[in-house]
Structure formats: C-alpha cells, structure tokens
Structure 1
Amino acid sequence: MRVLIVDDEPLILKGLVKIIGEVAPLGTEIFKANNAFEALDLMKVYMPDVTVTDLHMPVKNGFELIETARESGLCDRFIILTGYNEFEYVRKALRAGVVDYLLKPIDKDEITALLARFEQELPSEADPECSGHAKRIMAYTKTHYSNDLSLDHLAELMDLHPNYISSLFKKVTGDTFVNYLNAFRIKEAQKLLRLQRRLSVNAIGKMVGFENKHYFTKVFKKYTGITPGAYRDDDDAEGTADDDGAASGLDLLDMHV
C-alpha cells in the first residue's frame, strides 16, 4: 500500500510520517509533500492508494487538492485532518466524498483501523481473480466507452468496491481508470476523424463519450499533441496514428491482460 501525507507545517508533517509509519500495515510505502502542488506531482509518479491531508494550506487547500486529484484520477481515497472546532469543514468534506476524517491530535488506534481497512480493499497479489476482474472491466469499457462511465457505475455492475477497481487498474495497467478510458476514447476518435470526414468534430466527440466540445479538444490535445481539427487536416494523420501516445499507450495496457 502507498500512503501520501500532505501538510505545510514541517514539524507536523514529520510527526505524521512517524506515527503513520509506526502503525501502517507491513510493506506500506510512505511519501510526504509540503503542499498541494508537490502532492500532485508525487501522485503522478507514485499514484498513492490513500492520501492523508491537512485542509489549511496556502494557495491550494486540502479540498482543492482532493478535487484536482479526483478529476485527474490520481487518487480516490482521502483522509482529512481537522480540529475539534471545524465541524463545517467536516461536513463539507463528507459532501465531497472524502473517505474519512481524523481529529487532531491523531489517535493511533483510529489511523491503524483506517489503514487496515484500506489495505483489505486493495487487490492482493495472491488474488487469482485479479486478472479476470481486469479483463471483464476492460472489455466492458471498450464496448461502452461512449457512455457516461465511472468507477461507481463499474463497481455496481461488477459487484466490486470502487476502491478495488481503482487499485486494480493501477496494479494491472500501471495507469488510472480515467487515463485508460480517455486514451481509448481518443483512439476511437482518431479513427472517426479519418474515416467520417462529413461528421463535425463536436459530433465525433459525442460519439466517443465527450459531451463537451472544449473538453474533448483539451483531452485530445493532451493525448496526441494536436487538436482534433488539426489532426483531421493533417495529410499525414493516418501515417502517424500509430505513433501517438493514445494508441501506443492502449497497446501497452492490453498487454497486461
């Protein structure tokens, strides 16, 4: 299990690392960040299973960190640290879907129980069903990629916990579900842009699951380096399709299962 701890006060951060290191399950990797920006950079590299974060941080606070991390598919389990007199913050955290919260100072028994619960939700190396679950989820994603897919939807459909699915994707593919889904959608969009030239870019975006044209363009450019319109206009588009990040990335994902 990988745990990221975020706090802008060095002494508190050091203390949290020490406490969590003492009570975390055997084999837990612990990473630390002094602010939300550093935390997001670490998430991109290590994709933590759970993030423990303070709320009050300058420039980008704990809630904003959680929102950005979730939107990017970098982490979906969070524990917030809060004080006794911050009930409104706790209510806001619960509405935001935070896994849990801990009152300061941290109770070792509480954090021990939380981390143990999280570890049980993670796919085990010895679980013979891991590969089977991954194949089912990927097959469903490839068939229904144009729909509004989410971890909660897949969890209900597959009778699995959303956290299990998230961790399973990281374990099997080395990537997040959001990135896998978007990469597959962009690969399909590339085909349509080449073959269905009478369809507008907006129409193609909707066909592959992007209701918002601007978001489609943003994601397409992220994975290919150019806009959908520029891709279609490029005389060499067909020849370069196999070289773009979306296509090669999906080939690599498929090799894992």
Structure 2
Amino acid sequence: MKILIVDDEPLILRGLMKIVEEAAPPGTEVRAANNVSEALVVMQAYMPDVTVTDLNMPERNGFELIEEAREGGLCDQFIILTGYEDFDYVRRALRVGVVDYLLKPIDKSEIANLLAKIAEDLPPDSDSEYTVHAKRILLYMEGHYMQDLSLEHLADLMNLHPHYISRLFKKETGDNFVNHLNTLRIREAQKLLKACWHLPVNVVGQRVGFENKHYFTKVFKKYTGITPGAYREDGVTESTDGGDSC
C-alpha cells in the first residue's frame, strides 16, 4: 500500500510520518508533502492508495487537494486530519466522501485499524491482471467515449475499485483517466470538424461527450492549441459533404 501524508507544519508532518509508518501494514510505503501544490506533484508519479491530509493549510486547503486529486484521477481515498473539533468540518468531510475524519493528535491504534481496513479492500495488482483490465477498459472507452464516463461508472461496470482504475491508467498508459478520456474525445472531434462541415461546433462537442459548448472549446484549445472553429477553418478544403459518417 502507498500512503501520502500532507501537512504544512514540518514538526507535525514528521510526527505523522513516524506514527503512520509504525501503524501501517507491513510493506507500506509512506511519502510526505508540505502543501497542496507539492502533494499534487508527488501524486502524479506516486499514485498513492490513500492520502492523509491536514485541512487547514495556507494558500489551498485539504478540501481543495481532494477536489483536484480526484479530478485528475490521482487518488480517491482520503483521511482528513484537523485540530478543529468543528461539526461543519465533519459534515463537509462526509459530503466529499472521505474515508474517515480524525482529530489531532491522532491515536496510533485508531489509524492502524483504519489503514488495515483500507489495505484489505485494495485489489491485487499483478501485471497480468493490469493488462487484462486495461484492455477491457480502454476498449470500452473507445466505444463509449461520447457518453458520460467517470471512474465511478467504470468501476461499477467492471466491478473494480475506482482507485485501482486510476493506478491502472498510470501504469498502462502513462497518463491519468481524465487526460486519456479528453485526448480520445478531442481526437474524434477533430475528425468530425473536418469531415462534417455542416455540423455546428456545439453539436460536434455533444457528439464526443461535451454537453457544454464553452467547456468543449476550452478543452479543445488546451489539447490542440486552437479553438474548434479555427481548427475547422484550417481543414476547410477537406471533405464537407456531410455524408453518412456525419
């Protein structure tokens, strides 16, 4: 199991590292980050199974870390740590679906039991299993990229844990789920923009899975460097007959 601990106070972070290393199941790897920005960088390469994060940090807090990490498919299991015994924090933590909410100072036996439970729920990760599951998921995405896809949807469909799919994508494609899906959608949008001149840009976006025209334009520009309209203008000399493929 791989654990990431995030806290902006160095002394507390070292203490948390020591406690977690002693409490975690054998073979667990533990890494640390001092803030949200550093944590997100570490996650890109490390892909932790669970992140233990403080809530109250300068610039960006623990809730923002959870949101960005999940959007990027970097981690989907979080344990919240805070020194504030405030029901509003508890309520918000539960609303974003954290594994648990612990008050500082943490109890070693409590976190040991929690980490043991998380470890038991993690699926095996042999290379052969990764390959089989990767082929199934990538093939499904090729045929259903235009639908409302998410890690949770794929997890339910494939009977796998969302985090397992996150790790699978990183291992097999070198990318995360969101980037892979967007790349696939933009590739198909490029084909439609050049082959089907009569289709409005917003319809092209809808056909590849983007319901919102502005979001489609934003993502398209991020991945290609130009807007869908500009890309279409560049391909004006290509097929514009609006045939069966449109």
**TM-score of the superposition, structure 2-length normalised?**
0.86
CA 1:156 to 1:175, structure 2 compared with 1: closer, same or farther past 3 Å? same
Provide structure 1 residue ranges, at least 5 long, that are not aligned to the other structure.
Answer: 239-257
| Contact 1:23–1:111 (Cα < 8 Å) also in 2 | yes
Percent identical residues: 68
Report how far residue 237 of structure 1 moved: 11
Partner of 1:248 in structure 2?
none
1:141 paired to 2:141: yes
1:52-91 mapped onto 2 (5 Å cutoff): 52-83=52-83, 85-91=85-91
Partner of 2:45 in structure 1?
45
Report how far residue 13 of structure 1 moved: 0.9
| Contact 2:194–2:235 (Cα < 8 Å) also in 1 | no
Letter of the 1:167 counterpart = R
Letter of the 1:13 counterpart = L
1:34 paired to 2:48: no
Max radius of gyration: which structure?
Answer: 2
SS at match of 1:205: helix
Letter of the 2:148 counterpart = D
SS at match of 2:4: strand
Report how far residue 235 of structure 1 moved: 5.1
Letter of the 1:115 counterpart = L
CA distance in 2, matches of 1:72, 1:211: 20
CA 1:207 to 1:227, structure 2 compared with 1: closer, same or farther past 3 Å? same
| Contact 1:48–1:75 (Cα < 8 Å) also in 2 | yes
| Deviation readout 1:58-98 (Å, 9 max, x if unpaired) | 22111122112222222211110024622220111111111
CA 1:122 to 1:173, structure 2 compared with 1: closer, same or farther past 3 Å? farther
Report how far residue 143 of structure 1 moved: 0.9
| Contact 1:123–1:168 (Cα < 8 Å) also in 2 | no
Superposition RMSD in Å: 2.4
Partner of 2:152 in structure 1?
152
Partner of 2:201 in structure 1?
201
CA distance in 1, matches of 2:117, 2:107: 16
CA 1:180 to 1:120, structure 2 compared with 1: closer, same or farther past 3 Å? farther
State the aligned residue count.
238
Partner of 2:217 in structure 1?
217
Report how far residue 210 of structure 1 moved: 0.7
Report how far residue 46 of structure 1 moved: 2.8
Report how far residue 174 of structure 1 moved: 2.8
| Contact 2:85–2:103 (Cα < 8 Å) also in 1 | no
| Contact 1:3–1:29 (Cα < 8 Å) also in 2 | yes
Letter of the 1:126 counterpart = S
CA distance in 2, matches of 1:89, 1:209: 35
| Contact 1:4–1:50 (Cα < 8 Å) also in 2 | yes
| Contact 2:194–2:236 (Cα < 8 Å) also in 1 | no
Report how far residue 53 of structure 1 moved: 0.7
SS at match of 1:180: helix
Partner of 2:243 in structure 1?
none
SS at match of 2:22: helix
| Contact 1:81–1:103 (Cα < 8 Å) also in 2 | yes
Letter of the 1:3 counterpart = I
SS at match of 1:56: coil
Report how far residue 43 of structure 1 moved: 2.3
CA distance in 2, matches of 1:234, 1:85: 58
CA 1:237 to 1:152, structure 2 compared with 1: closer, same or farther past 3 Å? farther
SS at match of 1:74: coil
CA 1:237 to 1:214, structure 2 compared with 1: closer, same or farther past 3 Å? farther
| Contact 1:121–1:164 (Cα < 8 Å) also in 2 | no
CA 1:233 to 1:7, structure 2 compared with 1: closer, same or farther past 3 Å? same
Q: Which moved more, 1:52-61 or 1:117-126?
A: 117-126
